[in-house]
Amino acid sequence: MAKDFESVLKGKYPGKAHAKRVVQTLRDKGAVADGFIYLEARHTQMQEDNDGPVPFRQRRFFYYLTGCNLADCFFVYDIQADKSTLFIPPIDPEDVIWSGLPTTIDDALNLYDVDDVKPNTELAATLKKLASASPKATVYAIDGQVSDHVSLDAFAAKDLQTVKPAIEQARVVKDEYEVALIRRANYVSGLGHLAAMKRAKTAKTEQELEASFLERCYSYNSKEMSYHPIFASGRAAATLHYVDNTCPLEGKQNVLVDAGAEYNNYCADITRTFPISGKFSKESQAVYDIVLKMKNETSARLKGGVNYDDLHILAHTIAIEGLLELGILKGDKDEILKARTSAAFFPHGLGHHLGMDCHDTCGGQNRQDPDKLFPNLRLRGIVPTNSVVTIEPGVYFCEFIIKPYLKDPVHSKFIDESVLNKYWDVGGVRIEDDILVTETGHENLTNLPTTAAEIEAIVASA
């Protein structure tokens, strides 16, 4: 796939190709799929007790088939005719004085990969006409995403269950345009991470680092974040989804930054851990090197057809080896793995699918898995070629999680508490990259330094 995202993104988002992919997925699942697909955009919602709108986030199912990021739109795909029609809000003179001219029909035809664009006031008549012309057709829609004022009763059959999982399945494998969007999101997010690192020595609080990250992303036209950024200093880095981001940096060793921007609804998800002073402590350096080895060795084995469960086990094995070398763990490596004691230090999964959602579709997570290493693994089983996944190992020193292990004889015999006590202030180390899976290997889409020496040099250079 092309590495020059700018040239790829000059074209239109391939909504029509995605519609065809969804139809093929429906047929692969046994559906006849010869009728219509009907989808709705997110509708404008007002804040409670306020005259301002709720922040808009487009429905991903709608965007996947349209590339349209407008509210209050509708979409119909005629499968037999291979014709896509987008319905957009008409011009409201009362709105123009406040908000300016909206996207027009001509604009939409130029912007989006659709065959026809109509005002949404023509939706009802169009649906009735399509149903009349195809009296045996099924209309595929998403349960709970058909507005009360919209009637699909004129169609011979309604299927409200099949198209959503078909779109979810189609989204797993990315085309060149989607990969370019994720490349762009990674590029911008990488600039944000660098800005935060370079601010570390002068910043007083976590939110100053967050502000540096956001400034870079906003400057490069990525105003939406893939998730709430995590800027966790000191022991807070042991909290996986810490979002307070307000604590002072003074007296802390490290900051764990897990932050990614969106670009046109596609996500980046990047984590780096860096020393506030510009130099890792002995303990932090040792833990950092373990996590980097976990990331590098699991990434090296990533390719289409690999079982992601095996990579997750490999990450735990490397973590155990490293913690044994430090003396935090003691005993036999295989027995420690069998007891699942390493989950005390690496409690989350190795990674997940990435796309329009940070934790993208069809990961196959099983929260009821009785094996203690797997309930939090968001990607299970075989990794498809041309999917995008994260690799994000970590080692953490969270008292709330680890202390029950110290009281359990199954695990306590493997943990040297006297050595462990030296590492609480490390907090946690996580390193995360976004990776395109290819048939023979992979490509790292996150162009950001990872070695301890590189990270230290960036922080120290400010």
196 and 307 both lie in a single domain: yes
CATH number at residue 203: 3.90.230.10
- Separation between Cα atoms, residue 281 and residue 291, nearest integer Å: 15
376 to each of 1, 160, 353, how far by Cα in Å? Answer: 31, 30, 14
Task: Determine the angle formed by the axes of helices 452-461 and 282-300, rounding to 10 degrees.
Answer: 120
Instruction: Name the domain boundary from 122, 153, 171.
Output: 171
138 and 235 both lie in a single domain: no
- Separation between Cα atoms, residue 447 and residue 460, nearest integer Å: 20
Q: How far is CA 149 from the centre of its chain?
A: 33
Looking at residue 4, what is its pLDDT?
Answer: 85
- For residue 268, pLDDT beyond 90: yes
Handedness of CA 92, 98, 100, 103 (dihedral sign): negative
Burial of 44 (0-12, 13-18, 19+ CB in 10 A): exposed
Residue type, 255: V
Burial of 167 (0-12, 13-18, 19+ CB in 10 A): buried
Number of other residues whose CB lies within 10 A of the CB of residue 355: 25
- Separation between Cα atoms, residue 186 and residue 269, nearest integer Å: 8
Q: For 355-392, what is each residue's pLDDT tens digit?
A: 999 999 999 999 999 999 999 999 999 999 999 999 99
Secondary element (H or E) of residue 198: helix 176-199
Number of domains forming the structure of the chain: 2
Q: How far is CA 250 from the centre of its chain?
A: 31
183 and 231 both lie in a single domain: yes
Q: What is the value of pTM for the model shown?
A: 0.97
Mean pLDDT of all residues in 431-448: 98
124 and 260 both lie in a single domain: no
Mean pLDDT of all residues in 438-455: 98
406 and 447 both lie in a single domain: yes
What is the extent of the structural domain holding 200? 176-461
Residue given tokens 């966790």 in the structure block: 232
With beta carbons less than 8 A apart as the criterion, state whether 299 and 442 touch. yes
Rounded to a whole number of angstroms, the CA Rg of the chain reads 25
β-bridge pairing 157-159 and 230-233: unpaired
Burial of 460 (0-12, 13-18, 19+ CB in 10 A): middle
Query: How sure is the predictor about 1, in pLDDT bands with cuts at 50, 70 and 90?
Result: low
264 and 400 both lie in a single domain: yes
- Separation between Cα atoms, residue 179 and residue 173, nearest integer Å: 10
Q: For 86-119, what is each residue's pLDDT tens digit?
A: 999 999 999 999 999 999 999 999 999 999 999 9
Instruction: Name the domain boundary from 136, 171, 206.
Output: 171
197 and 300 both lie in a single domain: yes
- Separation between Cα atoms, residue 361 and residue 358, nearest integer Å: 9
Query: How sure is the predictor about 186, in pLDDT bands with cuts at 50, 70 and 90?
Result: very high
364 and 234 both lie in a single domain: yes
Q: How far is CA 174 from the centre of its chain?
A: 13
Percent of the chain with pLDDT over 70: 99
> CA angle, 220 as apex, 217 and 221 as ends, to 5°?
90
Instruction: Name the domain boundary from 123, 140, 171.
Output: 171
Q: For 34-53, what is each residue's pLDDT tens digit?
A: 999 999 999 999 999 999 99
187 and 139 both lie in a single domain: no
Looking at residue 32, what is its pLDDT?
Answer: 87
CATH number at residue 115: 3.40.350.10
With beta carbons less than 8 A apart as the criterion, state whether 270 and 434 touch. yes
In the predicted model, what is the mean pLDDT of the chain? 98
- Tokens representing residue 337 in the block: 């793995």
Task: Determine the angle formed by the axes of helices 163-172 and 15-28, rounding to 10 degrees.
Answer: 110
Query: How sure is the predictor about 33, in pLDDT bands with cuts at 50, 70 and 90?
Result: confident
- For residue 2, pLDDT beyond 70: no
Give the count of alpha carbons within 13 A of 311, CB side only. 32
- Tokens representing residue 391 in the block: 């690799």
Task: Determine the angle formed by the axes of helices 206-219 and 176-199, rounding to 10 degrees.
Answer: 140
For the chain, the farthest-separated pair of C-alpha atoms sits apart, in whole angstroms, at 78
Q: For 131-184, what is each residue's pLDDT tens digit?
A: 999 999 999 999 999 999 999 999 999 999 999 999 999 999 999 999 999 999
- Separation between Cα atoms, residue 61 and residue 43, nearest integer Å: 14
454 to each of 153, 190, 199, 298, 329, how far by Cα in Å? Answer: 62, 14, 16, 21, 28
Secondary element (H or E) of residue 116: strand 116-119
Q: What is the DSSP string of 147-175?
A: -TT---TTSSEEESSSHHHHHHHHHHS--
Q: For 297-330, what is each residue's pLDDT tens digit?
A: 999 999 999 999 999 999 999 999 999 999 999 9
β-bridge pairing 138-140 and 116-119: unpaired
112 and 186 both lie in a single domain: no
183 and 98 both lie in a single domain: no
158 to each of 43, 173, 266, how far by Cα in Å? Answer: 22, 28, 31
Handedness of CA 398, 403, 406, 408 (dihedral sign): negative
Where b means 16+ CB within 10 Å and e means fewer, 259-278 reads bbbbbbbbbbbbbbbbbbbb
> CA angle, 148 as apex, 143 and 154 as ends, to 5°?
80
118 and 222 both lie in a single domain: no
